[in-house]
Structure 1
Amino acid sequence: METVAWDGTATPRPEVHAVRGAARGGVPVPLSILDLVTVSAGSTAVEAVRTSTELAGLAEHLGYHRMWVAEHHSTPDIGSSSPAVLLAHLAARTTTSRLGAGGVMLPNHPPLVVAEQFGTLEALHPGRFDLGIGRAPGTGPAAMAALRRSPAEFDQQLDELLGFLDGDPFAGVHAVPGPIQAGAAGGTGEVSRPPVWILGSSERGARLAGRRGLPFALAYHLEPGNLATALRAYRDAFRPSATLAEPYAIVSVWVVAAETRRQAERLMRPVGLGVLRMTQGVPSLVPSPEEAERYPYTDSLRGSPGSGHRPYRVRCFTRWRMPVCWRRGC
């Protein structure tokens, strides 16, 4: 492929790897964003989606490598329940950034539906999407029942999904848009499909990604103690595939950017209070920093996230004159 300039001169277009995408900027480790479309106290889901849309445009302008959205259900402070719908909107409001699901919880959906949703996204905006797949419910038992969560084995569902995306029909059924249209009478050309990533927080998901030769996304923000063992398991289990010749992984980390360490800790407290309320079964929107600071923690809860009693280790990086503090479990 070539790029033709205004004066008619043509230059080769750099090859874009199906998984890695195109380089954006010169940082040694590409930075990306995982967005939950959080709904804060005093705001609405409408405002949350609008903010996420603005974030997608800003991320593209600043050169972030990817922006993914998650899947959660029956959680008041999260507005990201339909990744495919959100991605269609974000793609229409951006032009070059790579977007994706981080991820679709496959047991919540028939594999055919997922394949056709992302086949449609690929037809709308070819080459811009990643399809991250997870096995967790992304919700509680009641919502799992409402979703009619599939009892089928995850590996079986993954086989069906990959088959639909690659044009290998299940019981004679093809996903459309998809490869069947290129191979049917009158069809021309090839049909692209988004790369599939395996999401996980432990060695189990890491080994599955490795055995399949698929890229792996590690939820370090959920299980910080598993970083080294999970990545090692992924590399040890990796087998080259048509998708990847060598292992390729993403690690997700909670990050708060502020002028000082104290400000970063203050901004992190609402997240901790939200987690505490979730474990207590108290539905709520994301509290403000002021509400989190005023929260009356009892002695038994002083070690809980967000209490201000250092339940997390804090590390600060001051490059570019801007401290970036991230927290992880001790």
Structure 2
Amino acid sequence: MTTKSKTTLPKTALSILDLSPVSAGASGPQALRNTLDLARLADSLGYVRYWVAEHHNMPAIASSAPDIMIGQIAAVTSAIRVGSGGVMLPNHAPLMVAERFKVLEALYPGRIDLGLGRAPGTDPATSYLLRRRQGISEEDDFIDRFNELMLLETRGFPPGHPFHKVRAMPADVPLPPIFLLGSSDYSAQLAGRIGAPFSFAHHFATFDAGEAMRLYRDNFQPSSRFAEPYAILGTAVVCADTDEEAEILASAADLHFVRRGKGEYLPLASPEEAAAYAYTPEDRARLAQYRTRLTVGGPDKVKARLDALLAETQAQELMVTTMVYSHAARRRSYELLAQLYA
């Protein structure tokens, strides 16, 4: 896939990162059904991609098995690309990742993306449970796993190597396009060096998004699949018909952030519960920092903020995640965004 520069894109490419949020009083199955419903809407609105995340042991997030959800989403949509945002490679054997995504690519050719992450997407104990039958290492083995994935795809293991005759099935189907996800300078540079598209997680990163994108482009080396850098900016947005309504909706995200900082992993609170919460001065100081990574408002305010981010990062694509209590409000937020960038 040869990417286009930002200046040649007729409009900003708009995509969705969905964590399948679980609201207080609702259930995990309902959150997953909401994902399917939102994917259908995104498909009809012309969104470019719909990615689902991999998180574990988090009561507010039902998205723990992206490969399964990708198949379900692709089955109920027709045009939108569907992928992982991402598969956390430390949790999985590369051969298993290759085979699962080859199956998806075989069923939905030209519509699947394989986004890879370097982190486990969970706490240390859960990470241990995910990996204990693979061999535990204190070292960051992402590069080793990535190289193994690529060697399986290219049949690059030399004669005599134990894996030389191993083929990921179905063997006559290529892996879908691979994207590297990250939130740091290291991830940005790594994505450039391996010649992969890069998706920067501005919604939780502490590293500057503009600098990350610059490092990515400066370090980009063309690969067999990608001749030019392609940058996706992942960011959190709550958009409503008015600024006031958006602020009410965003209160659930505010409280979720504060609670996570205290080790409290609970479903998304309602605006009423969030309004009644007794924030400490320390909570409010942390929230002020968090709000620099969250865009909240009516269409005009949101458009101005997102346009500034796009200008700063020169990202070719905007991938939005929206964590609010109401599924109807989440649908409306994405409808308004689609209108802004139509």
The question of a shared fold, defined as TM-score above 0.5 by the shorter chain, is answered with yes
Distance change (3 Å), C-alpha of 1:81 and 1:122: same
RMSD across aligned positions (CA): 2.5
Out of 194, 204, 229, which is 1:222 matched to?
A: 204
Q: How does 1:156-195 map to 2 (within 5 A)?
A: 156-169=144-157, 171-179=163-171, 182=172, 191-195=173-177
SS for the counterpart of 2:131 is coil
Q: Does 1:34 align with 2:13?
A: no
Structure 2 residue identity aligned to 1:312 = R
Given that 1:317 and 1:325 are in contact with CA atoms closer than 8 Å, whether structure 2 keeps it comes out as: no
Cα deviation, residue 324, structure 1: 5.3
Structure 2: how far apart are the matches of 1:157 and 1:114? 10
Cα deviation, residue 303, structure 1: 2.2
Q: How does 1:115-264 map to 2 (within 5 A)?
A: 115-148=98-131, 150-151=136-137, 153-169=141-157, 171-179=163-171, 182=172, 191-223=173-205, 225-264=207-246
Structure 2: how far apart are the matches of 1:212 and 1:270? 38
Q: Does 1:70 align with 2:58?
A: no
Normalising to structure 1: TM-score of the pair?
A: 0.82
Distance change (3 Å), C-alpha of 1:168 and 1:287: same
Deviations 1:27-49, CA, capped at 9 Å, x for gaps: 52100000000100010011101
Aligned residues: 293
Cα deviation, residue 165, structure 1: 2.7
Q: Name the residue aligned to 1:6.
A: none
Structure 2: how far apart are the matches of 1:281 and 1:316? 25
Given that 1:75 and 1:283 are in contact with CA atoms closer than 8 Å, whether structure 2 keeps it comes out as: yes
Q: Which runs of 5+ in 1 are unaligned?
A: 1-16, 21-25, 183-190
Q: Name the residue aligned to 1:312.
A: 291
Deviations 1:73-120, CA, capped at 9 Å, x for gaps: 000000011010111111111122100001011011111111111011
Q: How does 1:5-84 map to 2 (within 5 A)?
A: 17=1, 28-84=11-67
Cα deviation, residue 238, structure 1: 0.6
Identical positions, percent: 42
Normalising to structure 2: TM-score of the pair?
A: 0.79
Deviations 1:192-243, CA, capped at 9 Å, x for gaps: 3201111111110111111111111101111254211111111111111111
Cα deviation, residue 63, structure 1: 0.1
Q: Does 1:98 align with 2:90?
A: no
Distance change (3 Å), C-alpha of 1:317 and 1:47: closer
Q: Name the residue aligned to 2:278.
A: 296
Larger radius of gyration: 1
Structure 2: how far apart are the matches of 1:136 and 1:122? 24
Structure 2 residue identity aligned to 1:248 = Y
The structure showing larger relative contact order (alpha-carbon pairs under 8 Å, at least 6 residues apart) is: 2
SS for the counterpart of 1:74 is coil
Structure 2: how far apart are the matches of 1:218 and 1:323? 19
SS for the counterpart of 2:25 is coil
Structure 2 residue identity aligned to 1:45 = G
Structure 1: how far apart are the matches of 2:22 and 2:192? 35
SS for the counterpart of 2:83 is strand
SS for the counterpart of 2:235 is coil
SS for the counterpart of 2:232 is strand
Structure 1 residue identity aligned to 2:151 = G
Given that 1:201 and 1:218 are in contact with CA atoms closer than 8 Å, whether structure 2 keeps it comes out as: yes
SS for the counterpart of 2:26 is coil
Instruction: Flag the structure with higher helix content.
Output: 2
Distance change (3 Å), C-alpha of 1:92 and 1:141: same
Structure 2 residue identity aligned to 1:300 = E
Cα deviation, residue 167, structure 1: 3.5
Structure 2: how far apart are the matches of 1:231 and 1:300? 31
SS for the counterpart of 1:218 is strand
Distance change (3 Å), C-alpha of 1:268 and 1:100: same
Structure 1 residue identity aligned to 2:146 = L
